[in-house]
């Protein structure tokens, strides 16, 4: 069960952040989120909530910021969906190879994201092919965003599988908390924004998906599943067996 932002795709720094800034600019606002500030703001999941939290820092009254955040986020969503359609967002290195290997081994694929459906579906279709994921749960279906486990629980329901059968693959602490609260084993593939987060609860931590000739480093392997320089089917199977006590 894959997360999207920061996991399947490199979408935050040069994707969502840019779209938020364009929405601010179009609205005539002076606010711009630089790379560092955006890293801090990522602690709040969901674009609407993120904008709201930012204006709360600036002491904007609650009602005003709720209306403004909703309006700005609606526009940001259109802008980001267009960026996704134009091919401006790339998969993380090694993701395509992993998906192919999983499919080849008959493994079923799902997505659990707190991103908005308007951009999630065109992005997944363009990068990975329509219908590639059997179940896709977005912020539009999940009653609460990560770190709440709603998205993962709904995806399990869609797959009709118990949590022990579906390891989660995430990049962030919010994603880890969500996956673990849903009862999933969780692999963390860190990125530039998340490598310093506390992933103590993770079942495996890698610094990338890894490719033949460009191996990933294993940052933590508490179950001893011993990935061969990449996240592969064998590693995920060993992890599933080990965390389900099989």
Minimal distance in Å, beta carbon 18 to ligand XBP?
Answer: 12
Q: Which of 1, 2, 6, 54 binds Mg ion (CB under 5 A)?
A: 6
Minimal distance in Å, beta carbon 138 to ligand XBP?
Answer: 8
Give the span between the Cα atoms of 198 and 202, in whole angstroms: 9
10 near Mg ion (CB under 5 A): no
172 near Mg ion (CB under 5 A): yes
Interface with Mg ion (CB under 5 A), residue total: 6
Question: Which residue has tokens 């609205």?
Answer: 27
By beta-carbon proximity to Mg ion, the closer residue of 65 and 193 is 193
Question: Which residue has tokens 């997944």?
Answer: 124
Q: In 3-state terms, what secondary structure has residue 82? A: helix
The site for ligand XBP (CB under 6 A) is made up of: 3-6, 12, 16, 45-47, 77, 113-116, 139, 146, 172, 174-175
Minimal distance in Å, beta carbon 213 to ligand XBP?
Answer: 28
Taking the C-alpha atoms of 231, 41, 76 and 55 in order, what is their torsion angle to the nearest 10 degrees?
Answer: 170
Q: Report the partner that residue 174 touches, choosing among ligand XBP, Mg ion, none (CB closer than 5 to 8 A by kind).
A: ligand XBP
Give the span between the Cα atoms of 47 and 69, in whole angstroms: 9
Give the span between the Cα atoms of 214 and 111, in whole angstroms: 26
Q: Report the partner that residue 46 touches, choosing among Mg ion, ligand XBP, none (CB closer than 5 to 8 A by kind).
A: ligand XBP
Q: Give the catalytic positions in this structure.
A: 3, 5
Give the span between the Cα atoms of 7 and 155, in whole angstroms: 17
By beta-carbon proximity to Mg ion, the closer residue of 16 and 121 is 16
Question: Which residue has tokens 């329901």?
Answer: 157
Give the span between the Cα atoms of 121 and 108, in whole angstroms: 18
By beta-carbon proximity to Mg ion, the closer residue of 44 and 60 is 44
- Stated length of the chain: 246
By beta-carbon proximity to Mg ion, the closer residue of 145 and 216 is 145
By beta-carbon proximity to ligand XBP, the closer residue of 152 and 230 is 152
Give the span between the Cα atoms of 192 and 59, in whole angstroms: 30
Q: Which residues contact 21 (CB under 8 A, 6 or more apart)?
A: 32, 33
- Please identify, among the stretches 37-45, 151-159, 166-174, 237-245, the one whose residues bind Mg ion according to the rule CB under 5 A: 166-174
Q: Report the partner that residue 115 touches, choosing among ligand XBP, Mg ion, none (CB closer than 5 to 8 A by kind).
A: ligand XBP
Give the span between the Cα atoms of 216 and 136, in whole angstroms: 27
12 near Mg ion (CB under 5 A): no
* Residue ranges in contact with Mg ion by CB under 5 A: 3, 5-6, 171-172, 175
């Amino acid at each position: 069960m894959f997360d999207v932002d920061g996991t399947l795709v490199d979408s935050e720094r040069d994707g969502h952040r840019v779209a938020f800034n364009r929405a601010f600019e179009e609205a005539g606002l002076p606010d711009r989120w630089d790379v560092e500030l955006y890293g801090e703001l990522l602690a709040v999941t969901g674009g609407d909530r993120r904008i709201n939290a930012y204006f709360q820092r600036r002491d904007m009254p609650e009602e005003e910021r709720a209306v403004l955040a909703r309006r700005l986020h609606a526009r940001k969503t259109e802008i980001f969906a267009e960026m996704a359609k134009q091919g401006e967002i790339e998969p993380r290195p090694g993701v395509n190879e992993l998906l192919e290997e999983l499919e080849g081994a008959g493994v079923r694929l799902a997505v659990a994201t707190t991103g908005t459906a308007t951009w999630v579906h065109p992005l997944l279709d363009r990068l990975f092919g329509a219908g590639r994921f059997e179940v896709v749960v977005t912020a539009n279906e999940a009653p609460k965003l990560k770190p709440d486990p709603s998205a993962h629980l709904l995806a399990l329901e869609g797959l009709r599988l118990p949590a022990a059968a579906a390891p989660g693959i995430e990049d962030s602490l919010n994603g880890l908390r969500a996956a673990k609260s849903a009862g999933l084993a969780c692999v963390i593939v860190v990125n530039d924004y998340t490598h310093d987060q506390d992933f103590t609860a993770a079942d495996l931590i890698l610094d990338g998906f890894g490719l033949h000739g460009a191996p990933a480093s294993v940052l933590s392997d508490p179950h001893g599943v011993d990935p061969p320089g990449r996240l592969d089917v064998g590693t995920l199977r060993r992890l599933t067996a080990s965390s389900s006590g099989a």
